[in-house]
């Protein structure tokens, strides 16, 4: 059941697979022209309590949602912007160059694999070659076995990502909920993938809820939204309804 959005809520949104459709590559996504306008209306309705929680760097958030420059946690919480148009704080050290080079060598050995460098993490996309999931996972696990122990291998929608162990979307949601604009509100987190699970759990700890988008992680039967287009429709409806109240 999709909830009504009240002025006492705080809204947290994943991007890819949640409000924008999955594309063959991260750079190939299409942004509906009215998405930023609806989100901006909701920012005003919620008194500023809207944040983006994404695996993308925050600079990608700003490019995709322009002219918005929202509160955001990027790279699964390794980056944080606490106020709109504010500075972006780095909460994790850059990935060691030796790890980057080792991952690049793995990718070069498998045609169709895409590497995405994000300073504090490195993502290996195999959407164009899904049969490579297990060999890539084994190769990346070997790299981490020989590397520093502050990194781990995370799974996503046809992507494997080396990320700092101490960061998560759940930790990012908790940090944002402590900000004056968000404190005391009911958090609603919408996401579609494994990294969003920690944010669902954090939202529930703050008296809120997590809403699932169907896809590769959640079935239609267990999801609250059938697809990103349905999330966008809900956001548009909430924006219009609350602009009239």
Q: Quote the DSSP letter at residue 243.
A: H
Region of residue 47 (phi > 0: left; psi between -120 and 50: alpha; otherwise: beta): left
Estimate to the nearest angstrom the gap between the alpha carbon of 49 and the chain centroid. 17
Structure tokens at 132: 């490579």
Sheet bearing 122-125, strands edge to edge: 114-117, 122-125, 159-164, 151-156
* 14 has catalytic annotation: yes
Which residue among 14, 16, 60, 196 is the active-site one? 14
Angle formed at CA 74 by CA 71 and CA 75, multiple of 5 degrees: 170
**What is the enclosing helix (H) or strand (E) of 156?**
strand 151-156
Q: How far apart are CA 48 and CA 11, in angstroms?
A: 10
Q: Are strands 122-125 and 114-117 parallel, antiparallel or unpaired?
A: antiparallel
> Active-site residue numbers?
14
């Amino acid at each position: 059941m999709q909830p009504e959005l009240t002025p006492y809520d705080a809204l947290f949104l994943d991007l890819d697979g949640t409000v924008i459709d999955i594309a063959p590559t991260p750079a190939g996504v299409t942004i509906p022209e009215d998405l930023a306008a609806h989100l901006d209306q909701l920012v005003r309705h919620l008194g500023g309590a809207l944040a983006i929680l994404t695996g993308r760097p925050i600079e990608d958030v700003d490019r995709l949602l322009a002219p918005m420059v929202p509160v955001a946690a990027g790279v699964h919480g390794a980056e944080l912007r606490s106020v709109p148009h504010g500075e972006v704080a780095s909460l994790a050290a850059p990935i060691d160059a030796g790890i980057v080079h080792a991952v690049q060598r793995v990718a070069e050995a498998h045609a169709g694999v895409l590497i995405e460098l994000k300073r504090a993490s490195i993502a290996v996309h195999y959407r164009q070659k899904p049969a490579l999931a297990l060999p890539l996972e084994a190769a990346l696990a070997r790299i981490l076995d020989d590397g520093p122990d502050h990194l781990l291998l995370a799974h996503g929608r046809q992507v494997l990502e080396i990320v700092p162990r101490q960061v998560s979307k759940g930790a990012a949601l908790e940090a944002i909920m402590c900000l004056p604009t968000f404190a005391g509100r009911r958090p609603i987190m919408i996401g579609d993938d494994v990294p969003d699970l920690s944010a669902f759990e954090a939202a529930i700890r703050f008296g809120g809820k997590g809403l699932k988008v169907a896809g590769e992680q959640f079935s239609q039967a267990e999801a609250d939204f059938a697809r990103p287009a349905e999330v966008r429709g809900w956001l548009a409806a909430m924006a219009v309804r609350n602009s009239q109240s």
